[in-house]
């Protein structure tokens, strides 16, 4: 068995790990805040704002309350707590009439996320305060501050501070002009800070987080894919391999699998036995990773062997290398919808909707592995458009894209040069691809490979359908058919068509890949 398919019991993960953005790439920074409920609630963090945006009162301002709940974290402070076992932490505050009221706390307050990097472990630091994401000025940013960010993201204590140019400095939202952490704080809210008051700042704080060595005890492998970087996910337990049910399976889970296997690039989750049905046991169900764990073992999940699934629901992943032209959807409720982003020269950027057509959407969805899709127009008036999946940040990489609908990739469509546009992020392309795959018909983009040739550029044509590879008969096979295979495999030159006595179609590409 290949070492790339079976995760080593000792796993190293660095900033080059898998990346996925099917959901917002932030972690509720105080997971214990969100999960502190009932009689076992014991939140001890620094959130001090209610969901309505009101500042919490000091607990001592409510006479007798601390004495009523001794040992429950109430004291001379205004941080949210859950002393009486409610559904989540709360606090007292003064309402618009000046009267004492209470409200549940905004557990997302003080969240951090990394934007514009190569992975979830790298990028510009953004903090969520008062309902708004904002950057931190990087003029005084240090490794001690970076270590706290990495710890808050659950990525270990090792962090390298960086500073990156602030995109559109005049319009950028900044929360803090400086942060002064000692390096041991559990989150940025507990570090001394200086509020930004409009002073000049051209550099934003950024970090690169590096995982320490962690021992994993759950072997994982990928089965049934075209390469070692994709396939049905199987885990080893009680002496045998078994599959994982796709209930709750998403890109966060896929990213953990990619990371555990040491595979870098874009992590994508697949459902409905996309890589074929497994046999034997279905070992796991309801896997719910945040995307920052090192191994599947660290993710919430059902007990071993407890499930309500068939092998037609086996989960899969693909870990695709980040190359120029790689696409993703960001900000949607699932991997099939969101703001369209494309990768170019080490960074993600958006696509402008000038001239965007339904044919462009079909190409984008097919490139992402879906059959069909539709374009979502912005809501609201032209003067105040509302982006359903949020307003993008960073560069606008493509504009005036024009596809016929038959291209396998947006890069093969007519378009402007990279970074040439006349757009704002209010014109970012938003699409929804079909999240369903019909069992009665093949997907629009059928996996193809060449087998038996003297190099990877020639061989017998095989297709992957219904969980297995099969050949194509040469009856009616023409140069036009061969050219489609050539294009699908990423070769730009015309193929030489060969039909040997075996009556199986073979191709030979003479030139290099696109």
Q: What is the pLDDT of residue 314?
A: 94
Q: Which residues contact 441 (CB under 8 A, 6 or more apart)?
A: none
Q: What is the pLDDT of residue 298?
A: 86
**Residue 195 pLDDT greater than 80, yes or no:** yes
For CA atoms 162, 165, 167, 172, give the dihedral sign. Answer: positive
More confident residue, 73 or 476: 73
**Residue 512 pLDDT greater than 80, yes or no:** no
More confident residue, 303 or 453: 303
**Residue 315 pLDDT greater than 90, yes or no:** yes
**Residue 493 pLDDT greater than 90, yes or no:** no
Q: What is the pLDDT of residue 59?
A: 93
**Residue 9 pLDDT greater than 50, yes or no:** no
Cβ atoms of residues 485 and 493 within 8 Å: no
Q: Which residues contact 233 (CB under 8 A, 6 or more apart)?
A: 220, 221, 222, 243, 244, 257, 314, 315, 316, 317
How far, in whole angstroms, is CA 508 from its chain's centroid? 37
**Residue 2 pLDDT greater than 60, yes or no:** no
- Measured at the alpha carbon of residue 224, what is the angle toward residues 223 and 226, in degrees to the nearest 5? 115
Cα–Cα dist 174/145, whole Å: 16
Two tokens, residue 297 = 């073992």
Q: Which among 494, 512, 510, 498 is positioned nearest to 461, based on CA atoms?
A: 498
Domains of the chain (ranges; CATH) run 10-22+219-298 (3.10.250.10), 30-106 (2.40.20.10), 122-210 (3.10.250.10), 327-433 (3.10.250.10), 448-509 (3.10.250.10)
Cα–Cα dist 186/150, whole Å: 10
Kindly indicate the confidence band of residue 92, based on its pLDDT and cuts at 50, 70 and 90: very high
How far, in whole angstroms, is CA 225 from its chain's centroid? 21
Q: What is the pLDDT of residue 456?
A: 64
For the segment 121-133, the average pLDDT, to the nearest whole number, is: 85
Segments in 418-457 forming alpha helices (H): none
Global model pTM greater than 0.75: no
Q: What is the pLDDT of residue 467?
A: 53
Segments in 350-396 forming alpha helices (H): 358-367
Q: What is the pLDDT of residue 6?
A: 34
Q: What is the pLDDT of residue 41?
A: 59
Two tokens, residue 270 = 């697949």
Phi and psi torsions of 56, nearest 5°: -70, 150
Cβ atoms of residues 448 and 489 within 8 Å: yes
E strand map for 271-336: 281-284, 316-320, 327-331
- pLDDT tens string 445-491: 467 778 777 666 777 888 766 556 678 887 778 877 887 787 776 66
How far, in whole angstroms, is CA 9 from its chain's centroid? 25
Q: Which residues contact 84 (CB under 8 A, 6 or more apart)?
A: 69, 72
Q: What is the pLDDT of residue 464?
A: 65
CA distances from 476 to 213, 358, 449, 472, 482 (A): 56, 32, 20, 11, 11
Q: What is the CA radius of gyration of the chain?
A: 26
- Measured at the alpha carbon of residue 289, what is the angle toward residues 283 and 293, in degrees to the nearest 5? 105
For the segment 158-185, the average pLDDT, to the nearest whole number, is: 82
Q: What is the pLDDT of residue 479?
A: 75
Mean of the per-residue pLDDT values for the chain? Answer: 77
Q: Which residues contact 291 (CB under 8 A, 6 or more apart)?
A: 20, 23, 25, 27, 120, 251, 252, 253, 255, 256
Cβ atoms of residues 495 and 485 within 8 Å: yes
Residue given tokens 């983009």 in the structure block? 445
To the nearest whole percent, how much of the chain has pLDDT over 70? 77
Residue given tokens 């190569």 in the structure block? 118
How would you classify the pairing of strands 281-284 and 174-179?
A: unpaired
More confident residue, 362 or 369: 362
- Measured at the alpha carbon of residue 245, what is the angle toward residues 241 and 248, in degrees to the nearest 5? 140
Rounded to the nearest 10°, the torsion over CA 302, 303, 309, 315 is 60
Backbone dihedral region of 33: left (phi > 0), alpha (psi from -120 to 50 degrees) or beta?
alpha
């Amino acid at each position: 068995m290949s070492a790339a398919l079976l995760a080593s019991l000792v796993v190293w993960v660095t900033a080059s790990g898998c990346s996925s953005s099917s959901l917002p790439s932030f972690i509720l920074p105080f997971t214990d805040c969100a999960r502190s409920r009932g009689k076992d609630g014991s939140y001890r963090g620094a959130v001090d704002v209610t969901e309505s945006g009101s500042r919490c009162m000091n607990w001592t301002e409510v006479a007798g309350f601390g004495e009523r709940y001794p040992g429950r974290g109430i004291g001379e402070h205004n941080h949210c707590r859950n002393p009486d076992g409610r559904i989540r932490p709360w606090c007292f505050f003064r309402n618009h009439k000046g009267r004492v009221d209470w409200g549940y706390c905004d557990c997302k307050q003080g969240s951090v996320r990394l934007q514009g990097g190569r992975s979830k472990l790298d990028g510009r630091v953004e903090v969520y305060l008062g309902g708004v994401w904002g950057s931190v000025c990087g003029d005084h940013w240090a490794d001690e501050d970076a270590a706290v960010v990495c710890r808050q993201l659950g990525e270990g204590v090792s962090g390298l501070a960086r500073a990156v140019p602030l995109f559109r400095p005049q319009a950028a939202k900044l929360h803090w002009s400086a942060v002064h952490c000692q390096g041991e704080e559990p989150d940025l809210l507990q570090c001394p800070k200086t509020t930004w008051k409009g002073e000049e700042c051209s550099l934003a704080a950024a970090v690169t987080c590096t995982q320490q060595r962690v021992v994993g005890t759950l072997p994982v492998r990928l089965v049934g894919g075209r390469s070692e970087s994709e396939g049905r996910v199987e885990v080893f337990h009680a002496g045998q391999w078994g599959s994982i049910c796709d209930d709750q399976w998403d890109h966060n889970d896929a990213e953990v699998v990619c990371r555990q296997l040491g595979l870098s690039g874009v992590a994508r989750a697949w459902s409905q036995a996309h890589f074929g049905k497994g046999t034997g046991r279905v070992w796991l169900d309801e896997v719910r990773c945040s995307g920052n764990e090192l191994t599947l073992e660290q993710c919430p999940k059902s007990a071993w062997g407890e499930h309500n699934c068939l092998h037609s629901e086996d989960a899969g992943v693909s870990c695709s290398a980040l190359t120029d032209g790689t696409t993703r959807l960001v900000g949607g409720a699932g991997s099939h919808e969101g703001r369209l982003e494309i990768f170019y020269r080490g960074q993600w950027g958006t696509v402008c909707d000038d001239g965007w057509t339904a044919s462009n959407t079909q190409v984008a969805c097919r490139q992402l592995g879906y059959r069909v899709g539709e374009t979502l127009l912005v809501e609201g008036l032209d003067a105040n458009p509302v982006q359903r999946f949020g307003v993008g940040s960073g560069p606008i990489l493509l504009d005036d894209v024009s596809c016929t609908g038959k291209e396998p990739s947006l890069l093969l469509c007519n378009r402007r040069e990279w970074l040439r546009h006349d757009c704002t992020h209010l014109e970012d392309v938003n699409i929804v691809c079909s999240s369903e795959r019909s069992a009665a018909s093949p997907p629009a983009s059928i996996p193809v490979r060449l087998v038996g040739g003297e190099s990877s550029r020639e061989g017998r044509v095989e297709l992957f359908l219904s969980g297995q590879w099969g050949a194509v008969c040469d009856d009616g096979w023409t140069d036009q058919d061969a050219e489609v295979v050539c294009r699908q495999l990423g070769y730009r030159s015309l193929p030489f068509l060969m039909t040997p006595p075996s009556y199986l179609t073979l191709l030979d590409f003479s030139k290099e890949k696109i």
